[in-house]
C-alpha cells in the first residue's frame, strides 16, 4: 500500500517494512536465541551476567553508550539478555536490531510512574498503551491506543500467579515528555483509564507488531503522580529490579 500521507508528519505511516537502513545493515555473523529478555533494569543486567552462566555475544553501539548483548543459560534454555535504553526511539531501535538477528519472543520490564494510589514496587501488566510518543507512529498506523500481545500477557499472568503474587492488568500512558506531564494532562489520562505512565510501552508494542514477534511488558511502580499537587519520587521502585528480571526470565520461557 505504501505511504499514507497526512498534513501532520507524525500521522503519516508507510506500510513498507524494508527501509533504506535496516536493522541488519551491518550484516553481522550473529544468530540470537528465539527468546529474549529486553529490560529497563539499568546496570543490574550486567551484574546478573557476571554472576550467572552468561556470555556476551555482541555489542550494540549507539552515539552515547554501548549496550552489551548477552546470551544466558536459564533453566537449560538459551535466552538473549539485553539492557533496554530509556526512551521510545532508542528502545525501539535496539529491540528492532535484536529482532533482526533472530529473537521472536520478548519480555520487557521496567519502572513506571503511578497515576493511581499503588504502593511502590507493585508489579503491573499493561494490556493497552496510550500512544503519546512519536516512535510508534513509524511502526503502526495512527491510533490512540495499541494493544499488547495476548500470548505474552498470558505467559506473564501464569508466571506472576506461580510466584503467588496478585495479577493486575492496566492501561499505561507512554510519553516522550517526562517534564511535560502537566496537571491537566495527568488528569486527562486518568479520565481515559490510564493507571501508569512510562516512556516506551506503546512504541515497543508497535515495533513487535510490525516485525511479527511476540512482546509483553512487566511494570513495577516507582514515583507517584497520583496527587498532582504533591509529586512524590518515592524510592524509584526500590530494589524491585532483581525480582523483575526473575519474572521476565520465567515468563519468556512460558511463551509458545
Closest CA relative to residue 34, chosen from 98, 95, 90 = 98
Please provide residue 250's backbone torsions phi and psi, each rounded to the nearest 5 degrees: -70, -40
The reported pLDDT for the residue numbered 237 is 64
The domain made up of 30-253 is a member of CATH 3.40.50.1580: yes
Residue pLDDT, tens place only, 188-200? 999 999 999 999 9
The reported pLDDT for the residue numbered 236 is 73
* Mean pLDDT, all residues of the chain: 95
Residue boundaries of the structural domains of the chain = 30-253
Give the torsion through C-alpha atoms of 232, 236, 240, 244, to 10 deg.
110
Cβ atoms 171, 128 nearer than 8 A:
yes
Residue pLDDT, tens place only, 58-109? 999 999 999 999 999 999 999 999 999 999 999 999 999 999 999 999 999 9
Residue pLDDT, tens place only, 7-65? 999 999 999 999 999 999 999 999 999 999 999 998 899 999 999 999 999 999 999 99
Cβ atoms 39, 45 nearer than 8 A:
yes
Amino acid at each position: 500500500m505504501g505511504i499514507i500521507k497526512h498534513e501532520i508528519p507524525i500521522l503519516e505511516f508507510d506500510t513498507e517494512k524494508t527501509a533504506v537502513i535496516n536493522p541488519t545493515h551491518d550484516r553481522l555473523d550473529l544468530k540470537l536465541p528465539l527468546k529474549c529478555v529486553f529490560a529497563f533494569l539499568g546496570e543490574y543486567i550486567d551484574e546478573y551476567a557476571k554472576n550467572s552462566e552468561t556470555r556476551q555475544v555482541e555489542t550494540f553501539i549507539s552515539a552515547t553508550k554501548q549496550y552489551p548483548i548477552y546470551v544466558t543459560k536459564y533453566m537449560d534454555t538459551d535466552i538473549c539478555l539485553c539492557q533496554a535504553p530509556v526512551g521510545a526511539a532508542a528502545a525501539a531501535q535496539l529491540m528492532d536490531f535484536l529482532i533482526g538477528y533472530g529473537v521472536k519472543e520478548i519480555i520487557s520490564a521496567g519502572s513506571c510512574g503511578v497515576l493511581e494510589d499503588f504502593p511502590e514496587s507493585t508489579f503491573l501488566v499493561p494490556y493497552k498503551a496510550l500512544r503519546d510518543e512519536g516512535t510508534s507512529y513509524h511502526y503502526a498506523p495512527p491510533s490512540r491506543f495499541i494493544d499488547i500481545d495476548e500470548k505474552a500477557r498470558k505467559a506473564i499472568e501464569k508466571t506472576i500467579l506461580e510466584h503467588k503474587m496478585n495479577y493486575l492488568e492496566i492501561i499505561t500512558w507512554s510519553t516522550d515528555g517526562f517534564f511535560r506531564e502537566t496537571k491537566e494532562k495527568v488528569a486527562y489520562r486518568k479520565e481515559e483509564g490510564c493507571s501508569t505512565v512510562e516512556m516506551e510501552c506503546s512504541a515497543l508494542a508497535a515495533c513487535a507488531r510490525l516485525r511479527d514477534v511476540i512482546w509483553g511488558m512487566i511494570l513495577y511502580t516507582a514515583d507517584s503522580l497520583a496527587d498532582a499537587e504533591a509529586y512524590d519520587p518515592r524510592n524509584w521502585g526500590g530494589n524491585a529490579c532483581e525480582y523483575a528480571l526473575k519474572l521476565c526470565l520465567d515468563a519468556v520461557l512460558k511463551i509458545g
